[in-house]
Amino acid sequence: MTVETPARFSPLVESQNALAQLPTGIQVRELPCLTQLTLRLEPGGAAAKAVESCLGVTLPGPLRAELAGDVQVLWMGPDEWLLVAPDGRQDDLLARLRSAIGDEFATVTDVSAQRTTLALSGHLVRKVLAQGCAVDLDPRVTPVGSCLTTLLAQAPVTLVVRGEAASGVWLLVRSSFASYLASWLVDACTEYREST
């Protein structure tokens, strides 16, 4: 019996045209269907060391992300990380990680269908996000590699600073909030249309 993998689709298909019309100081593109795995384990324990060896990265500490490499690791809580990789990597990563962990106490769960990712870039990113987010995106407070779970326009997001002065940011948002957040971004950019 063959089990077919359900088709995955972007929750922002209908928002693409509006996102393409933003002012030149901000670009927003969706990174749909990324592989996302939740990793739960004891920091510094045997399972953590096995995972780090398997991935070739150090699990980041609080409010940080490890952005180098094919698999990016986002700190989500005291014993929780989100592993983000290109689409289609979930089966391979799950198998490798579960093999590396062995009998140690840890869990790895595929949560790829829960969220989509918006990649924001440009010199207006910080100004636009400041309209709906209480996080101070000054580079002295949130340098590259910062990873925060917060609210943006009342929508829960994981915000990852990827560029200097927050000129590059990932917003990981639940699929059910994605369309709302895209509409909010379009509206928040209205005042910058004439000034760019």
Residue closest to 173 by CA, chosen among 145, 189, 190, 150: 150
pTM of the model: 0.90
Residues of the chain with CATH 3.30.70.1520: 35-110
Pick the CATH number of 13-33+114-192 from 3.30.1360.120, 3.40.50.970, 1.20.950.20, 3.10.450.50: 3.30.1360.120
Pick the CATH number of 35-110 from 3.40.50.300, 3.20.20.210, 3.40.50.1820, 3.30.70.1520: 3.30.70.1520
Which 3 state secondary structure label does DSSP give 80? Answer: strand
What string of pLDDT tens digits covers the 196 residues of the chain?
665 655 666 777 777 888 888 999 999 999 999 999 999 999 999 999 999 999 999 999 999 999 998 999 999 999 999 999 999 999 999 999 999 999 999 999 999 999 999 999 999 999 999 999 999 999 999 999 999 999 999 999 999 999 998 899 999 999 999 999 999 999 999 998 864 4
Q: What is the pLDDT of residue 105?
A: 93
d(CA 156, CA 171): 10
